[in-house]
Structures are given as structure tokens and as C-alpha cells.
């Protein structure tokens, strides 16, 4: 990902591993400040996932894999029984951070499987290697998604996206934003409608920031304006990411995705979901079986920003004691999805059959 820091352009990943440390961009303070944090152990990494220092299905999955690598390195001098106990406790700690994104659980399970045999040193080495493999696969998948998704974008297209499924949500490129990056790099003229994405405003804070870094034309809009521009014929395609996709093609993604998909279908606008294999959950037969995370009321009743002096501050926008419901995700039924943009290509209906055929679910 290209990032301008103090007037200098740099290439940086969203997160990476340096020995037993995990380095990552602090997404809570973007777009006002750019800082790299160091997480020294798996507990720090679990907390970073939980409080959303990083977010996005791919980034969460990579972080969980790195967290398992940290746990293995922390336990490398223990006996076999102690090592297994420590690893399982660490896995549970990471699992309990956030419930919806499939990548997190796949990464933990893969690391546990990789470290299931051999001596303690052999298991540590295998877990660390598997965590690195997950990161490399994430990077390659997002690149491939961009290449396949670029074939869907014509010159002059106006693209609507929701939340942030860009480089900040993966190691680089992203999912929904990867086709846009590739289209822009190939010389196509594209324009992006960026939903603000309340309540945490990942569109306003993160997607718009990524567009600025890449020099891709865009306009930031309030969430409720998307239908207005669709009705006016100013949207050619809708592309989002996903946090978990059921076996039948139902999609769990950031709250508000469902209503965008319904309005897109009403206006004959194609809706594509960009996601790698790690986001598909074939154990969930439909979206009804996906756990939807509900977060605290403070995300809705107040907002963080910077004041005129450039200092971070929080302002309250609702009355004290107001009743709040805050689901972080919703489920879009498969009937509203035109196709899935994956590292294996574009997958179209019938989804249950074609997804399993593609991924062997």
C-alpha cells in the first residue's frame, strides 16, 4: 500500500511479523495521524483485534495467525503438556475477540493443525511457518481478486463501495478496493462513491484515506445517499467485501450492506462481493447460522474526531441514557448477489454448487 508520510511516499503493509513482535498500522487514529504500533505478545494481539486497532476480515485472520505464532514462541521452553495447554488457552483468547469474521477462526484452526505433531520445537516452527503462509496467501489472494475484478470494471465506471475492504482490511490491495486499484493502474477512468459507514465511519476515515493515497477519484457520501445516486443512474456497479459467507452464498458484511444490495437490485445495478477462500464458511449452511456481533452503545451515541487545535476528542450526539442497538454486521441473502470475486475467479449462481466446486468445501 502506498502511504504518504511527512511528504514522503512509502510502501507499507497493514501488519507484519518481526520475530515475536507484530507490527501494524493503528487504524483508530487514521486519517488524522499515521502510526505503527508494536504488539509484543499474543495477549496484545488479541486485544488489538478486540478493540479494533486493526479490523477487516483478512487483517483479522492474519493477526490471529501471528497471535498463534507469538503464543507458540512464548511457550517454546515448556513441556509438551504445558505447551499444548498454553496454546489452547491462547487460541481461545484469540477466538473470543470477535465472533463474525471467518478468517480469524480459519487461521487459528490452521495453526493448531500445523502444530499438532512432533516435538515442541518442531511444533513451534510449524506454527510460525503456517502463520507466515496465511499472510502470504492473503497477499496473493487480494492481488488475484484485483486482477479478476478488473475485468468487471469498464472505462468510466462509477463504483459504490461500503465500509473499508481495502489494503487496511488485508495485508495489501484489499478485496473490494483491489479491482478498483487495478482498474486505475491500468489506465481506466474510475470514480468511487465512498459510504461513510456509520457508526465507526470506516468509509469516511479509511476508504477515503486510501483513495487519497492512491490518487483515485472519489466522493464521500452519507450512508443514506447511496440510493439517491443509484436512482439517478450515477452508479454502475456495487462492490463490497465480506466477513463471512455461508455455503449457500449468503453474505455477512458491515451493517448497511443488505440495504445497499436490495436497492442495487431494484435499480438493475450488479452487486459483487470480493472475498478469498478464507472468508467462506461451508459449515454455515445459510446466513441464519452466522453469529452477528453486537457492539456497545457508545459507538452510536458519540463520535471521535479532532478539534480545531488538532487534538483528538469525543463528542456526544445522543441524549444520556438513550436506548441503543448496535449490530456490527448484517446478512445479505444470496439472491441479491450477482457474483463473488475470488482468487479463483468470478463465481456466479447457482452459488451452493459452484462455490463447493471451486473451493471443494
**What is the per-residue pLDDT for 3?**
86
**What is the per-residue pLDDT for 222?**
97
Instruction: State how far the Cα of 29 lies from the Cα of 53, in Å rounded to an integer.
Output: 9
Looking at the fold, whether 122 and 174 belong to one and the same domain comes out as no
What stretch of H or E contains 305?
Answer: strand 302-306
Which set of grid coordinates corresponds to residue 22? 507484530
123: domain CATH number is 1.20.120.420
The residues with which 170 forms a beta bridge, in sequence order, are none
- Averaged pLDDT for residues 179-190: 98
Which set of grid coordinates corresponds to residue 169? 482490511
- Averaged pLDDT for residues 257-276: 98
Looking at the fold, whether 22 and 107 belong to one and the same domain comes out as yes
Looking at the fold, whether 71 and 217 belong to one and the same domain comes out as no
Looking at the fold, whether 74 and 153 belong to one and the same domain comes out as no
Looking at the fold, whether 220 and 161 belong to one and the same domain comes out as yes
Instruction: State how far the Cα of 32 lies from the Cα of 29, in Å rounded to an integer.
Output: 6
241: domain CATH number is 3.40.50.10470
Q: How far is CA 282 from CA 9, 112, 270, 287, 348, in A?
A: 41, 19, 24, 11, 17
Structural contact between residues 99 and 45, judged by C-beta atoms closer than 8 angstroms: no
What stretch of H or E contains 143?
Answer: helix 120-150
Instruction: State how far the Cα of 329 lies from the Cα of 336, in Å rounded to an integer.
Output: 16
**What is the per-residue pLDDT for 265?**
98
pLDDT in tens, 273-321: 999 999 999 999 999 999 999 999 999 999 999 998 888 899 999 988 8
User: Which strands sit side by side in the sheet containing 329-332, from one edge to the other?
Assistant: 280-281, 244-246, 251-254, 329-332
* Per-residue pLDDT at 88 exceeds 90: yes
Looking at the fold, whether 64 and 157 belong to one and the same domain comes out as no
**What is the per-residue pLDDT for 320?**
86
The angle, 0 to 180 degrees and rounded to 10, between the axes of the packed helices 57-74 and 120-150 is 170
Looking at the fold, whether 55 and 106 belong to one and the same domain comes out as yes
pLDDT in tens, 112-165: 999 999 999 999 999 999 999 999 999 999 999 999 999 999 999 999 999 999
Looking at the fold, whether 207 and 344 belong to one and the same domain comes out as yes
Instruction: State how far the Cα of 63 lies from the Cα of 24, in Å rounded to an integer.
Output: 9
Q: How far is CA 90 from CA 6, 23, 24, 330, 339, in A?
A: 38, 19, 20, 29, 37
pLDDT in tens, 49-71: 999 999 999 999 999 999 999 99
- 195, 243, 250, 281: which one is catalytic? 243
pLDDT in tens, 324-353: 999 999 999 999 999 999 999 999 999 999
Looking at the fold, whether 48 and 36 belong to one and the same domain comes out as yes
249 Rama sector, left if φ>0, alpha if ψ -120 to 50, beta otherwise: left
Looking at the fold, whether 68 and 185 belong to one and the same domain comes out as no
Domain edge (last residue) among 142, 161, 187:
142
343 Cβ neighbours under 8 A, 6+ residues apart: 140, 141, 144, 145, 148, 276, 277
* Per-residue pLDDT at 90 exceeds 90: yes
Three-state secondary-structure class, residue 214? helix
Domain edge (last residue) among 107, 123, 142:
142
Looking at the fold, whether 247 and 337 belong to one and the same domain comes out as yes
Average per-residue pLDDT for the chain: 96
Torsion angle defined by CA atoms of residues 325, 326, 331 and 332, in that order, rounded to the nearest 10 degrees: 90
Domain edge (last residue) among 99, 119, 142:
142
102 Cβ neighbours under 8 A, 6+ residues apart: 57, 243, 244, 245, 278, 279, 280, 281
**What is the per-residue pLDDT for 79?**
97
Q: What percent of the chain shows pLDDT beyond 90? A: 93
Does the annotation count 243 as an active-site position? Answer: yes
Looking at the fold, whether 149 and 164 belong to one and the same domain comes out as yes
Instruction: State how far the Cα of 21 lies from the Cα of 36, in Å rounded to an integer.
Output: 12
**In total, how many domains does the chain have?**
2
- Averaged pLDDT for residues 178-192: 98
Pick the range with the lowest mean pLDDT from 2-6, 205-209, 273-277: 2-6
Q: What percent of the chain shows pLDDT beyond 70? A: 100
Range of the domain at 332: 143-359
**What is the per-residue pLDDT for 361?**
65
Amino acid at each position: 500500500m502506498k502511504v504518504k508520510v511527512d511528504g514522503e511516499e512509502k510502501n507499507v503493509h497493514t501488519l507484519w511479523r518481526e520475530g515475536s513482535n507484530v507490527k501494524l498500522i493503528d487504524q483508530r487514529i487514521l486519517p488524522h495521524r499515521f502510526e505503527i504500533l508494536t504488539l509484543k505478545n499474543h495477549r496484545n494481539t488479541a486485544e488489538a483485534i478486540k478493540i479494533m486497532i486493526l479490523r477487516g476480515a483478512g487483517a483479522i485472520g492474519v493477526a490471529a495467525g501471528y497471535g498463534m505464532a507469538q503464543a507458540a514462541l512464548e511457550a517454546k521452553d515448556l513441556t509438551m503438556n504445558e505447551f499444548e495447554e498454553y496454546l489452547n488457552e491462547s487460541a481461545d483468547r484469540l477466538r473470543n475477540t470477535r465472533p463474525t469474521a471467518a478468517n480469524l477462526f480459519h487461521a487459528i484452526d490452521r495453526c493448531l493443525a500445523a502444530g499438532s505433531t512432533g516435538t515442541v520445537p518442531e511444533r513451534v516452527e510449524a506454527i510460525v511457518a503456517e502463520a507466515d503462509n496465511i499472510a502470504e496467501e492473503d497477499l496473493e489472494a487480494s492481488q488475484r481478486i484485483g486482477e479478476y475484478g478488473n475485468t468487471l470494471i469498464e472505462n468510466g465506471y462509477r463504483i459504490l463501495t461500503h465500509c473499508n475492504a481495502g489494503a487496511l482490511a488485508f495485508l495489501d490491495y484489499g478485496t473490494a478496493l483491489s479491482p478498483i486499484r487495478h482498474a486505475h493502474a491500468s489506465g481506466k477512468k474510475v470514480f468511487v462513491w465512498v459510504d461513510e459507514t456509520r457508526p465507526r465511519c470506516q468509509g469516511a476515515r479509511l476508504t477515503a484515506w486510501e483513495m487519497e493515497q492512491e490518487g483515485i477519484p472519489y466522493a464521500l457520501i452519507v450512508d443514506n445517499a447511496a440510493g439517491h445516486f443509484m436512482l439517478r443512474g450515477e452508479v454502475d456497479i456495487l462492490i463490497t467485501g465480506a466477513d463471512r459467507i455461508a455455503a449457500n452464498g449468503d453474505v455477512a458484511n458491515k451493517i448497511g450492506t443488505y440495504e445497499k444490495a436490495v436497492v442495487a437490485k431494484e435499480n438493475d445495478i450488479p452487486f459483487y462481493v470480493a472475498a478469498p477462500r478464507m472468508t467462506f464458511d461451508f459449515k454455515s449452511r445459510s446466513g441464519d447460522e452466522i453469529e452477528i456481533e453486537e457492539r456497545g452503545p457508545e459507538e452510536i451515541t458519540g463520535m471521535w474526531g479532532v478539534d480545531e487545535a488538532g487534538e483528538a476528542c469525543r463528542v456526544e450526539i445522543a441524549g444520556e441514557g438513550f436506548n441503543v442497538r448496535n449490530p456490527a454486521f448484517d446478512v445479505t441473502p444470496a439472491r441479491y448477489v450477482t457474483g463473488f470475486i475470488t482468487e479463483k475467479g468470478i463465481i456466479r449462481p447457482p452459488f451452493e454448487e459452484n462455490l463447493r466446486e471451486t473451493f471443494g468445501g
